[in-house]
Amino acid sequence: MPVGGKTIHQLAVHGRAGFVLLPRFNRQGSQNMQHLLTINEVAALLGRCPETIKKDLRRNPRAVPPRVLIPGTRLLRWREEDIKVWLAKLSEATHG
C-alpha cells in the first residue's frame, strides 16, 4: 500500500507511552489490516466536534484516544479497537 511514494510495512500507534508498532500487512491488503477511522467517524463515536478533537490533540492529548500514525502522511486515523480500550480505561478510572 503506497503512501507518500513508499510502501508501508508497519503502522505506529501514538499513545501516552509513545509509539507502538502494529502488525505487518501484506501487499494484497492483508487480513491483519483493519479499517482505520477518520476524525469525523471518531467525533461521531465520541459525540464531539472534529475541531475539538484536533485542538485536544495539541492541548490535551490524554483527552483523545491513541491514534495511528502513518509514516510520510499527516492523516489522522484511529483503530476502533484502540478507542474501545481507551473508553474502557476512562470508565474504570471514573467508576473504579
Q: How far apart are CA 38 and CA 20, in angstroms?
A: 19
Q: How far apart are CA 40 and CA 62, in angstroms?
A: 19
Domain ranges within the chain, ordered by starting residue: 2-95
The phi and psi torsions of 69 (rounded to 5 degrees) equal -100, 125
For 36-90, the pLDDT digits (tens) are: 999 999 999 999 999 999 999 999 999 999 999 999 999 999 999 999 999 999 9
Query: Cell for 68?
Result: 495511528
pTM: 0.64
Q: How far apart are CA 72 and CA 69, in angstroms?
A: 9
